[in-house]
Amino acid sequence: MAQLLQILAATQKCCSLRVTFLLIALIMIFFSYKSYLYPRSQKPESTQADVNLTVREHRGLQSVKLSRMLYRQPQVLTPARKDVLVVTPWLAPIIWEGTFNTDILNEQFSLRNATIGLTVFSIKTYMIFLKQFLQSAEMYFMVGHRVIYYIFTDKPEYVPYLNIQKGRQIIILEVESYYDHWQDISMQRMEMISNFCQERFHQEVDYLVCSDVDMRFSDHVGVEILSSLFGTLHPGYYGLNRTDFPYERRPQSQAHIPKDEGDFYYIGALFGGSVPEVYKLTKACHEAIMVDQANHIEAIWHDESHLNKYLLYHKPSKVLSPEYLWQQQQMDHMHDQEMIFSKIIRRKKLKVLKKNYQLKNWIEEGSGLRLF
Ligand SMILES: *[C@@H]1O[C@H](CO)[C@@H](O)[C@H](O)[C@H]1NC(C)=O
Ligand SMILES: *[C@@H]1O[C@H](CO)[C@@H](O)[C@H](O)[C@H]1NC(C)=O
Ligand SMILES: *[C@@H]1O[C@H](CO)[C@@H](O)[C@H](O)[C@H]1NC(C)=O
């Protein structure tokens, strides 16, 4: 009997021990949960740390404006565009009207306080296009953001005087043009851009947009185009089989692309990216052009052929649709292409000017510029 009582007592003691443990565990869980819900009720040191964090956040808020934005919710079951490819197989967006919200992009871009450089070559008679190019850029290019126009020219005295918006600058870079043909001048651009990337662009701008000058902005071209490396689809070859692209096909050239390779045909008139990426691109293209010269071969479409080779092996992180480069002159001879475009092009953002007509006018006005 005494033995039985002993066993009973032990069991009870064990039970009450278990209950105590359970209670302690519950209390611990409750407090850790409470401090999880209310972190400020922690030890005084942590509270201090929180306050410091708030101050830092508050200081951050003073330098960058964060405002409430209202916009339509993205529709997960409704693609923005069903009629065109909007992403490449390497997941780079193809920029079409209707696929992005400019307000969101502008707000996000402003937080980064970045500067955009626009390079343009206005050499010899191409000076005639500069005024209209700049005037239209003032209306439509990167409106509301900080822009530096870099004008490469052999005739600084002909650069028109323009009243430009606040936050924008024109920098004239005098260059000597030792070539007479536009093809050579065009190829020379790769060398000059790569040199100036090292010399000054890397200190002054975050992005570079490299453009031809014989064009006019006719609608907004904003930060949606910016990315570490971007190229533009050539409107004349949109939708064609790659076997029909005018790539350089001679294996002797550095720009050679075989018939069974190629993604798109990019136009030489508009490309860009971050300064380091544009430096790599222009340096590689310039070096390839030099190798070709040493081998007495010139790629079929000059710098454009080399650009296409580069972008095939260094995939761009964004691709601009032909909305960004409209060539009416070329379309007049390509009725099939025009049929496709009449359905898919919603906006024509940059228009290539008709050269002959403009040149004729300029010469009649007695500009005194020498034709090449
Ligand atoms: C909080 O910031 C103050 C002033 O900058 C500093 O003296 C203090 O040591 C900081 N406290 C902690 C916990 O970091
Ligand atoms: C933004 O950048 C400009 C020029 O790079 C600089 O002067 C300015 O202080 C910057 N603003 C902020 C808030 O960082
Ligand atoms: C392109 O043309 C080649 C050769 O004619 C053919 O084998 C290929 O299927 C075509 N590709 C497309 C996307 O039509």
Q: How far is the CA of 352 from the centre of ligand 2 (A)?
A: 34
Q: Report pLDDT for 372.
A: 33
Residue ranges of the annotated binding site are: 121-123, 126, 212-214, 234, 304
CATH 3.30.200.20 fits 94-364, yes or no: no
Q: Report pLDDT for 304.
A: 96
**Catalytic site residues?**
304
Q: How many whole angstroms separate alpha carbon 76 and alpha carbon 310?
A: 35
Ligand 2 pocket at CB < 6 A: 63, 113, 115
Cβ–ligand 1 contact at 52 (below 6 Å): yes
Range 110-149 burial, b when 16+ CB lie within 10 A, else e: eeeeebbbbbbbbbbbbbbbbebbbebbbebbbbebbbbb
Q: How far is the CA of 52 from the centre of ligand 1 (A)?
A: 6
Ligand nearest to the CA of 241: 3
Range 230-266 burial, b when 16+ CB lie within 10 A, else e: bbbbbbbbbeeebeebebbeeeebbbbbeeeebbbbb
Nearest to 85 by CA among 351, 350, 340: 340
Which residues are registered as beta bridge partners of 210?
119, 271
Q: Please, are residues 232 and 324 in contact by the beta-carbon 8 Å criterion? A: yes
Which residue of 47, 50, 51, 52 sits with most ligand 1 atoms within 8 Å of its CB, as the best mutation to test the pocket? 52
Cβ–ligand 3 contact at 243 (below 6 Å): yes
Q: Which ligand 2 atom sits closest to the C-alpha of 64?
A: 13
Q: How far is the CA of 109 from the centre of ligand 2 (A)?
A: 13
- Residue 267: strand, helix, or coil: coil
* Nearest residue (CA) to ligand 2, atom 1: 113
Q: Residue 325 corresponds to which tokens in the numbers above?
A: 């480069």
User: In which residue are the tokens 């065109």 written?
Assistant: 84
- Residue 246: strand, helix, or coil: coil
Q: Report pLDDT for 337.
A: 74
Ligand nearest to the CA of 110: 2
Q: How far is the CA of 163 from the centre of ligand 2 (A)?
A: 23
CA 249, distance to chain mean position in Å, is 29
* Nearest residue (CA) to ligand 2, atom 6: 113
Cβ–ligand 1 contact at 26 (below 6 Å): no
Q: Which ligand 2 atom sits closest to the C-alpha of 115?
A: 5
Q: Report pLDDT for 314.
A: 98
* Nearest residue (CA) to ligand 2, atom 7: 113
Q: How far is the CA of 199 from the centre of ligand 2 (A)?
A: 21
Ligand nearest to the CA of 43: 1
Which residues are registered as beta bridge partners of 216?
351
Q: Write out residues in the chain with pLDDT < 50, as ranges.
A: 4-5, 8, 34-62, 357-358, 362-372
* Nearest residue (CA) to ligand 3, atom 13: 241
Q: Report pLDDT for 336.
A: 75
Q: Report pLDDT for 368.
A: 42
Q: Report pLDDT for 106.
A: 95
* Nearest residue (CA) to ligand 1, atom 10: 52
